[in-house]
Amino acid sequence: MTVMARSRSTGRTHIQSAAWGIVVECLYVAVLCAALFLITAAIWFYFSRCRV
Amino acid sequence: MISRPTLRDFSIIGFSTGKILTGVSLLYVVPLAIAAAFGEWSAFVDFAIGLNATLAAGAVLILLGDGTREPTRWIQSMVIAAFSWFAAMLLCAIPHFLSGNFLSYLDCIFDVMSGFTTTGLTLIQDLDHASHSLNMWRHLLTYVGGQGMIVMVLVFLLRGTAGAYMMYVGEGKDERLLPNIVHTSRAIWLISIVYLIIGTAVLSLLLAREGIGFPRCLLHGLWLFQSAWSTGGFAPQSQNVLYYHSYAVELGTLFFFVIGSFNFILHYAVWSGNVREMWKNIEIRSFTVTAALTTALLVFALAQLSIYGDAFILFRRAVYNLLSAHTTTGFATAYVQQFKADWGDLALLAMITAMAFGGSACSTAGGIKGLRVGIIAKSIYHEIKRIVLSEDAVFVTKFHHIRDIILGDQQVKMAGLIALCYVVLYFTGGILGVVCGYPFTDALFESTSAGSNSGLSCGITAAGMPLILKLYYLLAMWAGRLEFISLFGLIAFGVSVFRGK
C-alpha cells in the first residue's frame, strides 16, 4: 500500500484518510463524554433539588 | 473415540511455541537499552538472564520440533496459542523475580500474566521506586499483549507457517481485517504504532505541562499510553493516574483507552475512509448504550450518597472510572479503599456490570464484548418481534458490523455460549472470594475485574491474599483474554493424552 496513492471513492490519500479517521474517532469520544456529562448533570441536578 | 496425540503432534506444537518464544525474546532488547541508558546495571543483568533463558527455551523447542509446511490442525493451533501464553508467562517473569520487587515467583507470574492479558492487577512491592527498565518491561508486555503475542510473531517470524489463522483465532481475535492473516497482523501493528507515536507525544506534553521534567515526562507518557491503548491499567506510580492530579492527563488517557477498546476492524474501516461505520457499527452502538446506562446507575448511586460536591467533580470521578471499567482498562482516580468504603454496593454493582460487558471484539479489551452484547440484544428483539407478529410472518433481523449481516442461529448460539462462560467465570470467582472470607460484592468486583481483564481492585488483590484466590485470578485472566476456546482446546488435548486411543 503506497501512502500517497489516492482512494478511488474518496479521492483522499491513505495518509489523509487515516488522519481523518483519527479525527472521527476522537470526535466520537468527545461526543460520548459530552453525553455522559449531560446524564451526570441531570441526575446531580435532580438530587440537589430533592435536597432543597 | 478420542484419538491420542502422537509424538508428531507434540513436535509440531513445540516448534511453533519455540518460534513464538523466540519472537518474545526479542522484546528484551527494549528494557536492556533502557537499563543501559539509565545506568541500571543490576537490572541489565536481570534482563540479560531473562533474554538468554527465553531464547534458549525457544531454540530447544525449535530444534526438537517439527517445522512442517502442512497446515496445523485446529486442536494443535489452540494448544499452541494457550501453551505459548503460559510458557511466555513463566519465562518473562525472570527479570521480575531477580528485581527484588516481588515476594515470590508466583507473584511475578501473576504480574506478567496481568500484563500480557492487559488486566492491570499487580502484586509488585514498592512500585514507586522500581527501576525504569522494570517499568518499561511491564508496560511493554502490556502493549504487546494488547495487540497479541501471536499477532506480533506472525508479523516478524511465522510468515510461512500454515495454520497461522487458527493460532490467531486461538489468541481471542477471530476477525480478519484483510484476506491474508499476515497482512491483518501487520495492519493491527501499523494502527497501534501510529497511535503509539501520537499518544506518547500528547501525554508527554501534558505531563511536561504539569511540571514533570525530561526524560521522566517522556517515559511516563510512553508507559501511560501503552497501558491506555492496550486497556491495561498498569501505571508507573502506585497511586495510578490519581498520582498526577491532572484533569488534562485524565482526559488524555481517557481518549486513548476508549479508542484502544475499539475493534481493529473498525479502526481499519474508519482509517480507509469509511467514517460512517463509526455511527453504524453494532459494537459502537452497544458500547454507547451500555456506557450511558451504567454511567446513569453509577451517578445515581454516588449522587444519592452526596460524596462529591458538584456535578463537575462527580463527572470527573464517576465517568473516568466507569469508562476505565467498561473498556476494561483499570486506570483509577479513586483510592482502593474509597471504592469499598465510600462508593457503596450500588456503585460497585454499576462498575461490575460495566467491567462484565467490556470493550470490543478483536481489540485490546476484555469482557463479554460489545459485539456479543449487541447480538444477544438483537436476538431478544427478534424473539419479541416473532411473538408480536402473526405466525405466518417471515422476517429477518440484521445488524451492521462493517456490512449488513443477517442474524443467524449460530451467531446467537456462539455469543450466548461465550457470554455464559464469562458469567460463570465471574461468579465462580465471587463465590470463591466469599469462601475465603470476603464480602460478596467485593469478591464479585475483584473476580469480574480479573476475568474481564479490567484490573480495578477494591483491595482483595495483594501479596498476602489466599493462594487459591491468587491461582484462580491467574486462571481467570488467562481464560478471559483467550476467550476460553484455546483453553478448552488445551484441556481437550490434555484429556486426549490420558483417555485417547
Residues B76-128 have pLDDT tens digits of 888 888 889 899 999 999 999 999 999 999 999 999 999 999 999 999 999 99
Contact B203, B252 (CB under 8 A): yes
**What letter represents residue B325's amino acid?**
A
Q: What is the pLDDT of residue B335?
A: 86
Q: Is the pLDDT of residue B168 over 70?
A: yes
Confidence of residue B336 (pLDDT cuts 50, 70, 90): confident
Q: Is the pLDDT of residue B69 over 80?
A: no
pTM of the model: 0.94
Whether B289 and chain A come into contact, CB under 8 Å, resolves to no
Copy the grid coordinates of residue A28.
466520537
Per-residue model confidence as pLDDT tens digits over B134-162 = 999 999 999 999 988 887 777 766 655 55
Q: What is the pLDDT of residue B160?
A: 55
Q: What is the pLDDT of residue B421?
A: 96
Copy the grid coordinates of residue B100.
527484588
Confidence of residue B171 (pLDDT cuts 50, 70, 90): confident
Q: What is the pLDDT of residue B156?
A: 67
Per-residue model confidence as pLDDT tens digits over B182-204 = 888 889 999 999 999 999 999 99
Q: Is A21 in contact with B258 (Cβ distance < 8 A)?
A: no
Q: Kindly report the nearest CA distance between residue A5 and chain B, in angstroms.
A: 12
**According to DSSP H, which parts of B26-100 are helical?**
29-37, 41-64, 74-92, 94-99
- Give the C-alpha separation, B351 to B339, whole Å: 10
Whether A5 and chain B come into contact, CB under 8 Å, resolves to no
- Give the C-alpha separation, B387 to B380, whole Å: 11
Per-residue model confidence as pLDDT tens digits over A2-12 = 555 666 666 77
Per-residue model confidence as pLDDT tens digits over B240-253 = 999 999 999 999 99
Q: Kindly report the nearest CA distance between residue A25 and chain B, in angstroms.
A: 7
Q: What is the pLDDT of residue B68?
A: 66
Q: Kindly report the nearest CA distance between residue A35 and chain B, in angstroms.
A: 8
Whether A12 and chain B come into contact, CB under 8 Å, resolves to yes
Q: Is B292 in contact with A24 (Cβ distance < 8 A)?
A: no
Instruction: Indicate the average pLDDT of chain B.
Output: 92
In this predicted model, which residue has the larger pLDDT, B337 or B287? B287
Average of per-residue pLDDT across B368-386: 95
